[in-house]
Chain A
Amino acid sequence: MGILRNMTLRRSSATVAAIVVAWLFLWPVLWMVTSSIRPENQIFAYLNPLSVFSILPKSLTLQNFHLAFQAGVGRAVLNSVIVAAGTTVFGLLISVPAAFALAVLRFPLRRTAFVILFVSFSVPFDLVAIPLSSVFRNWHLANTYPGLILPGLASGFAILLLRQFFANVPPELSEAARVDGAGWIRIMIRIYTPLARPALIGAGLILFIFQWQEFLWPLLIADNPNMQLGPVALAGLQASGVTSTNFGAIFAGATLLTVIPAILLLIFQRSFVETVATSGSKG
Chain B
Amino acid sequence: MPATTTRPAPKRAVAPPARRSPRRARRGETLTALLLLTPAGLALVLLRVYPMVYAVFQSFHKESLDVFQAPHWAGFANYRFLLFHSVTFWPSVGSTVLFVAIIVVIQTVLSLALAVLLTQRMFLPGLWRTLIFLPVTIPVAVSTLAWQIALRNDGIVNGFLAAVGLSQHNYFSTRGMTYFSFVVILSWIGMGFWMIVLIAGLKDIPHELREAAAIDGAGRMRTFFSVILPLLKRPLAFIAVALTITNFFTFVPEQVITAGGPNNSTDFLLYDIYQQAYQNANLNLASAELVLFTIIILVIVGLEFRFISPRER
Contacts and interface: CB of A to CB of B under 8 A. Distances in A.
Interface of A: 7, 10-12, 14-15, 17-19, 21-22, 24-26, 28-29, 31-32, 44, 47-50, 54, 93-95, 97-98, 100-102, 105-108, 110, 113, 116-117, 119-132, 150-151, 153-154, 156-157, 159-160, 164, 170, 172-173, 175-176, 178-179, 181, 183-185, 188, 198, 202, 205, 209, 212-213, 215, 230-231, 234-235, 250-251, 254, 257-258, 261-262, 264-266, 269-270, 272-273, 276-283
Contact of B134 (A102, A178, A265): A265
A172 B8 contact: yes
A151 B47 contact: yes
Contacts, number: 291
B204 A250 contact: no
Given A25-B134, A157-B242, A213-B139, A117 B204 contact: no
Contact of B48 (A28, A50, A156, A280): A156
A164 B138 contact: no
Given A121-B245, A127-B286, A18 B128 contact: yes
Nearest to B132: A25
B109 interface: no
A119 B298 contact: yes
Interface string B275-289: 001000001001000
B206 to A, nearest CB: 7
B37 interface: yes
Contact of B32 (A19, A105, A156): A105
Interface of B: 3, 5-8, 10-11, 13, 16-17, 19, 26, 28-30, 32-37, 39-41, 43-44, 46-52, 54-55, 58, 114, 117-118, 120-143, 145-147, 149-150, 152, 154-156, 158-160, 162-163, 188, 191-193, 196-197, 199-201, 203-206, 231-232, 234-235, 238, 242, 245, 249, 251, 270, 273-274, 277, 283, 286, 290, 293-294, 297-298, 301
Contacts of B138: 29, 254, 257-258, 261
Contacts of B140: 213
A14 B155 CA distance: 31
B141 A215 contact: yes
Contacts of A95: 40
Given A18-B117, A18-B120, 12 more contacts: A11-B121, A11-B122, A25-B135, A105-B33, A122-B245, A123-B294, A172-B11, A215-B139, A265-B137, A270-B126, A281-B204, A282-B206
Contacts of A170: 7-8
B298 A234 contact: no
Contacts of A47: 149, 152, 154-156, 159
A10 B122 CA distance: 8
A283 B231 contact: yes
